[in-house]
Structure 1
Amino acid sequence: MIEKNYTITSDEGLHARPAAKLVASVSSFASEVKLEFKEKQVNMKSIMGVMSLGISKGKEIKVIADGADEERVIETVDELMKSENLGA
């Protein structure tokens, strides 16, 4: 299991478009991927789950990947966070 924290830097927070991109980026992986915010965990492969968290700018999130390709999951999320200017 790999966990990584990010601080959301986008002015709009984690709204619909970037949330959809995050979900799409991890959906093809075999690993279980969770997004944690304020002690609540949701399946990161679910757009409804991710959107339900209402994550705004400046908030810290944790991505948790567990499975055979967990390292690649985190690398993919890292790349998307940087390319979309979502977080650091």
Structure 2
Amino acid sequence: MEKEIIVKSTTGLHASLAVKIVQTASKYAVEIELHYQDKVVDLKSILGLMSLAIPQGQNVRIVATGKNAEAAINDIAAILE
């Protein structure tokens, strides 16, 4: 399952937002990734997520596989949107 969203945070993907995303992703027994431009990172990796330095207004795609993939994607999308 996947979902494309636009990062709406005025400061883009900053440290405290990244922590919330990693904590949320880690609650689910799914494989979950964030695709940005030509990069793909595991959403359970704070370093991977921070390395993207995504600014406000950018399109990203969340891709998840597993039993609760839809719930995981929706929860993370709610943080980014």
What TM-score comes out, normalization by structure 2 length? 0.92
Q: Deviations over 1:20-78 (max 9, x none)?
A: 10110110211100011012100000000000001001111111011111111122123
Q: Residue 19 of structure 1 corresponds to which residue in structure 2?
A: 18
Q: CA RMSD in A?
A: 1.1
Q: Aligned partner of 1:78: which letter?
A: A
Identical residues among aligned pairs (%): 36
d(CA) in 2 for partners of 1:24, 1:8:
18
What TM-score comes out, normalization by structure 1 length? 0.85
Residue 50 of structure 1 pairs with residue 42 of structure 2: no
d(CA) in 2 for partners of 1:38, 1:79:
21
5+ long unaligned stretches in structure 1: 82-86
Deviating 4+ runs (over 6 angstroms): none
How many correspondences in the alignment? 81
